[in-house]
Structure 1
Amino acid sequence: MTGLILNGAIKRYGEVQVIHGIDLTIDHGEFCVFVGPSGCGKSTLLRMIAGLEETSDGTIHIGARDVTQLDPAERGVSMVFQTYALYPHMTVAENMGFGLKMNGVPRAEIKQKVSEAARILKLDEYLSRKPKALSGGQRQRVAIGRAIVRGPEVFLFDEPLSNLDAELRVEMRVEIARLHQEIGATMIYVTHDQVEAMTLADKIVVLRAGRIEQVGAPLDLYRDPDNKFVAGFIGSPSMNFLDGQIEGEGKVAVPALSRSISVPASLCSGTGAVTVGLRPEHLELDQSGSDAVVELTEALGGVSYAHLVCAGGEKMIVEERGDHRTRVGDRVAVRFDPARAMLFDAKTEARLR
């Protein structure tokens, strides 16, 4: 069984530390996604696993082997990069089998492995073509096929869809999910796109500034975030955050909405500032009220997003469905079930539970 364990993994560039003691276990066969904003360290961490970056401290185990000091070729991993990196003068079959050829694998075995990878990726009819005769999505499938034929213990994907247009990104997300189901290998995938993370992952690792903020299943992170950062990063559109003030046991004032909400008394020890988190899909608009003004609407067909400006300048996004939707300039009230609200400490940003 081939999983992966990071124990206190640290990366330094001179005196600058960019990865801060990562402890993480990825089980055999899991699809794990590293997600976070640019500069959070997700690609650096992936490259440490691949052996393309030296691990300054800590250990990396793949299966039962300590691979911390091993060369990339000895780790049993295959990596798919953001760029396809295909040889333009070689056919699809030659590109996919090139690594095996360089390692002296017999021609018949190469042909068998390339044929199997082509079947999985639906590239059978393109094996004799060269990269210039393929679409972007097909080229990326060839790059994935090149990884498959090596039979790695762990697949590593470094933002493989970022160069594709929106339609191809959706198509390739489905292809990668199907690939994982078919071959059942351990996969680690890096992206800054939380939609990709939510739709692909068994386990999401949310990173910020070289540290893990939270690890969990996609819906667990969405429904039960540990802090304001995770709550705002997971979910599209992002969660709305409004200033709040504890008024007393079981009451929090929300000045932007000119009202107080009832919350569990255990969350309201003493008095103090809090942040109230509300997801757009948990809000409703009432055109008989005047909490806010509709500044912009995004009509996406089955759903619209109304961008609101409250009296104090606070901004919110509310999801709308149905036939009757607001227009720019409308004054509206915002309704919601207080049980849907999440509270965060205004200073530490930790979730109040």
Structure 2
Amino acid sequence: MSGVTLQKVVKRFGEAQVIHGVDLTIEDGEFCVFVGPSGCGKSTLLRMVAGLEETSEGTIRIGNRDVTKADPSERGVAMVFQTYALYPHMTVAENMGFGLKMTGHPKAEIDRKVAEAARILKLDELLSRKPKALSGGQRQRVAIGRAIVRGPEVFLFDEPLSNLDAELRVEMRVEIARLHREIGATMIYVTHDQVEAMTLADKIVVLRKGKVEQVGKPLELYHNPDNRFVAGFIGSPAMNFVAGSVETAGRVAAAGLGTAVSAEVALPGAGAKVEVGLRPQHLRVEDGSTHRVEMTEALGGVSYIHVAASTGEKLVIEAKGDVIPKIGTQVGIGFDAADALFFSEAGLRLR
């Protein structure tokens, strides 16, 4: 297996530049997830690693090899797409072994590799079926098995679960995580679903408009975001943001919270605009009348209470238990100042 290194990688389509000088190192055996909103460049970057898109500038290395100009077949990668792309007239075994058959591998070797991939993916009893007789999750496992059989240095996944329903997505996340543990391969996975990113990744790369916003372990990004975009994108439900202004050193007025907030960070001068960020689990309902309950979501073990401040700002509060306020009532909110994050007017984290 091998790691992947991107050095000042740029992609242009005509005059439009969509990837802006990306530098990134993915270690051997690491599970790296590219995450970001639609149009951020994550799939384009993955396709550049695969060789399906040409690199306009920069260098891509897999292991010790410079593969920037290499054909896809020479890169030692295998890609699993959003669509299963299975041959409907072939059995599961034939689909999984087709790539090796086309490159002239002996039948005994193909059978052995298909059997091993089937064991890993629990497809042993389905090898004689055709795709129409499989569920969506089983078809996706076959597509992954086809990649395993090739024995690549790097696995590439382009939103492989987006066609599955919610229950199957959870099941397949577990399968992919188990697969990574079992074979220990380098994997790069693209998704717009930050829950997938948090649960699967050793390393997350947050992208926006073709640029890397932050790279780190899932909980590092969750607890210590570099900017407002990462803070709002990582975490579900999303972080609450409230407009504020600096009163004095160490103190921010935030009308949307109904109180001023102590800030043990380096703040700009008095009167400067800032934003205060608080995650839903860091807010609590208290006695008071500063916020109006607009909606509640009772999910069993946890509830989400949507409230509006007099400023019009909307907040989500995570509450435990079954007792939740009624829609239309007035409540107060509480929080610990130590849980608050602060962001400059430009969206940068204040530390």
TM-score by length of 1: 0.98
Match of 2:249 in 1: 249
The one-letter amino acid of 1:313's match is: G
Contact 2:34-2:189 within 8 A present in 1 as well: yes
Q: What's 1:349 paired with?
A: 347
Alignment of 1:237-276 (within 5 A): 237-264=237-264, 266-276=266-276
Counterpart secondary structure, 1:343: strand
Which deviations, in whole Å up to 9, do the C-alpha atoms of 1:31-57 show, x marking residues without a partner? 000000000000000000000000000
Distance 2:248 2:207 in 1: 35
2:56 corresponds in structure 1 to 56
- Between the aligned partners of 1:49 and 1:266, the Cα distance in structure 2 is 40
Per-residue CA shift, 1:321-350, capped at 9, x if unaligned?
02322221121111000010000001x100
Q: Which residue in the other structure is 2:155 paired with?
A: 155
Say whether 1:195 aligns with 2:198: no
Amino acid at match of 2:339: R
| Alpha-carbon distance between aligned partners in 1 of 2:301 and 2:33, rounded to the nearest angstrom | 29
Q: Say if 1:250 and 1:268, in contact at 8 Å, map to a contact too.
A: no
What is the SS of the residue equivalent to 2:349? coil
Aligned to 1:290: 289
Structure 1 Cα separation of the partners of residues 265 and 66 of structure 2 = 49
1:261 is paired with a residue whose SS is strand
> How far apart, in 1, do the equivalents of 2:137 and 2:130 lie?
14
Once residues 206 and 149 of structure 2 are traced to their aligned partners in structure 1, the CA distance between those partners, rounded to angstroms, is 30
- Give SS of 1:212's match: strand
| Deviation for aligned residue 1:259 | 1.4
1:50-89 maps to which residues of 2 (within 5 A)? 50-89=50-89
Q: 3-state DSSP class of the match of 1:290?
A: strand
Letter in 1 for 2:148: I
Is residue 2:291 matched to residue 1:303? no
Indicate conservation of the 8 Å contact 2:204/2:217, yes or no: yes
Distance 2:255 2:289 in 1: 14
Report how far residue 291 of structure 1 moved. 1.3
CA distance in 2, matches of 1:258, 1:147: 55
Given that residues 246 and 267 in structure 2 are in contact (C-alpha distance below 8 angstroms), is that contact kept between their aligned partners in structure 1? Answer: no
Q: Does the alignment pair 1:336 with 2:335?
A: yes
- One-letter amino acid matched to 2:109: E
Task: Report the equivalent of 2:146.
Answer: 146
- In the alignment, is the contact (CA less than 8 A) between 1:249 and 1:265 conserved in 2? no
State how many pairs are aligned.
351
Q: Which letter does structure 2 place at the counterpart of 1:168?
A: L
Distance 1:131 1:315 in 2: 47
CA–CA distance in 1 between the matches of 2:111 and 2:329? 65
Per-residue CA shift, 1:202-242, capped at 9, x if unaligned?
00000000000000000000000000000000000000000
Q: Match for residue 3 of structure 1?
A: 3
Report the alpha carbon displacement of residue 268 of structure 1 after superposing the two structures with TM.
4.9
Distance 2:10 2:19 in 1: 5
- Which has the larger displacement, 118-127 or 291-300? 291-300
Distance 1:257 1:144 in 2: 48
Please tell me whether residue 314 in structure 1 is matched to residue 313 in structure 2.
yes
The one-letter amino acid of 2:320's match is R
> Is contact 1:239–1:277 with CA below 8 Å preserved after alignment?
yes
Counterpart secondary structure, 1:128: coil
Mapped to 1, the partners of 2:290 and 2:318 lie a distance apart of: 16
Task: State the identity %.
Answer: 71
Looking at structure 2, the residues matched to 231 and 21 of structure 1 have their Cα atoms a distance apart, in angstroms, of 23
Distance 2:87 2:131 in 1: 8
Residues 227, 265 of structure 1: CA spacing in aligned structure 2 closer, same or farther, 3 A cutoff?
A: closer
Q: Which runs of 5+ in 2 are unaligned?
A: none
What does residue 115 of structure 1 align with? 115
- Superposed CA offset, 1:124-170 (max 9, x none): 00000000000000000000000000000000000000000000000
Query: Secondary structure at 2:301's aligned position in 1?
Result: coil
- Kindly state the Cα deviation for residue 267 of structure 1 after the two structures are TM-superposed: 3.0
Would you say the 8 A contact 1:4–1:25 is kept in 2? yes
Any conservation in 2 of the 1:248–1:268 contact (CA below 8 Å)?
A: no
1:90 maps to 2:90: yes
